[in-house]
Structure 1
Amino acid sequence: MSDGVPVLAPMPRLAVLGAGHTGPVIARVAIAAGYPVTIAAAGDPARIALITRVLAPGAEPRWAADAVTDADIVVLAIPLHRFATFDPDLVAGKLVVDTMNYWTPIDGVQQMFEDPAYGSSEIVQRRLAHSTVVKTFNQFGYHELEEERRPAGSPERRALGVAGDDPAGVKVVAELVERVGYDSVRLDSLRAGRLLEPGGPVFGASLRRAEFELALDTGTG
């Protein structure tokens, strides 16, 4: 507080890794919600400068390492089949939002994700052992993510699950989900995040919070 006036904490800074379909949409909705956003793809940021200006105006294209360095939240929005070559050191010590899905019709068979004992984000966390992984933004198409946003309190506001093992990380990401236009439903583990994946009870479904929570309860019954 300064001179009796509360000092507002700055908004967390997002680094979006991936400039294909999902990354620019997440960048757009985050910018609309007031977050500062950088975006990176593989290689020279000059290669995505035009894409960024058109698809995510207000986002700053950077080299991936530069984008991550001062980010509070790193959004991993790369094609899942490229994850096997992703460098874990790039995001060491960072809060990472995993937006990826393992879906063989799209990605083909990826041996890294074939163990049925684990959900895809659990496998991501095992590889990113020095990061905190939280799963969300994976439950419906990238085009819907922008179109389906609604203000808080709207009867049409859709729910999104947020799953992670670290309560503080889940809280930060749930606030992001709420700010961009969705009701967040927190799941207390990445293991529970399997309910959010293709074939799970809420994947691809347009559900309000109560319906979403009921579907999760049914899915675990």
Structure 2
Amino acid sequence: MELERAVMKIGIIGAGQIGGNLTRRLTALGHEVSVANSRGPHTLTELAKETGATPVPVQEAARGAEMVVVTIPLKAIPDLPSGLFAEAADGVAVIDTGNYYPQQRDGRIAAIEDEGLTESRWTEQHLGHPVIKAFNGTYAQDILDRHRPAGTPDRQALPVAGDDAAAKSKVRALIDELGFDTVDAGGLDDSWRQQPDTPVYGLREGVEAVTKALAEASPERTPEFSA
């Protein structure tokens, strides 16, 4: 007999491809999802109708949430309201799916370029709350199409980095529920190993290949992903 899954209250900030597809899958799994974007709840009517998620203003997305997914362009992180997690559940886990695309979208971020901060460490500092880096190198469509039951030979693995062991465990459990294996990619200062243009970024493989790809990463930014 399959054990009944615990229903979680999950906030999603950003309703683009990753945010939209996580909303679809998480509601399908029975979780209570609130979703927000920069344009306001009235622009999320169709997604809400499709999924049963609740559209909310950004400042309410984390209210009562046990987990919050922040999936917006890096350049928009500083524009998020302060005190975003003030009304979240105790021990809320925050997932950062973001990537730094200086030439393509975000412009130059000095702390990343000059101080060597990882993208997620920079995000964490702006949010004022620990983050777990996950889904940043995942194709959005794979969230809908490539999930598999545990133990399936072709089950895809996702790297997960972060410093908060309890939050990381919670995030890895959710990813398993979504139908993917995980690999512990270390602390947030190690999360450069899964940033854009690393071997694991966009890799559609299992645990062994993901582990190998993380080990082979270089901390040097390639010219395409530098300002």
The reply to whether TM is greater than 0.5 is: yes
1:83 and 2:51 matched: no
2:15 maps to what in 1?
19
> Per-residue deviation at 1:38?
1.1
Give, in whole Å, the separation in 1 of the partners of 2:140 and 2:113: 24
Q: Residues 16-36 of structure 1: CA distance to partner in whole angstroms, max 9, x if unpaired? A: 011222211111122223322
Cα shift at 1:210: 1.1
State the 1:197 CA deviation: 0.9
Q: 1:136-178 CA distances to partner (integer Å, 9 max, x unpaired)?
A: 0111221222222111111110000111011001000001111
Letter of the aligned partner of 2:211 in structure 1?
Answer: E
Map 1:15-164 to 2 at 5 A: 15-42=11-38, 44-54=40-50, 57-92=51-86, 94-112=92-110, 113-115=112-114, 117-129=116-128, 131-164=129-162
Greater mean alpha carbon deviation, residues 160-169 or residues 180-189? 180-189
In the superposition, the TM-score normalised over structure 1's length comes to: 0.86
- Cα distance change on mapping 1:87 and 1:63 into 2, 3 Å: closer
- 1:101-120, Cα deviation, whole Å (9 max, x unpaired): 11234314232543361110
Aligned to 1:4: none
% of aligned pairs identical? 29
Cα deviation digits, residues 7-54 of structure 1 (max 9, x gap): 978422110011222211111122223322111123542231123324
The verdict on how the C-alpha distance between 1:34 and 1:115 changes in structure 2, with shifts beyond 3 A counting, is farther
Aligned length: 212
Residue identity opposite 1:17 in structure 2: I
Classify 1:88/1:202 alpha carbon distance in 2 versus 1 (closer, same or farther; 3 Å): farther
Answer whether contact 1:24 1:52 (CA < 8 A) is retained: no
Normalising by the residue count of structure 2, what TM-score does the alignment of the two structures yield?
0.84
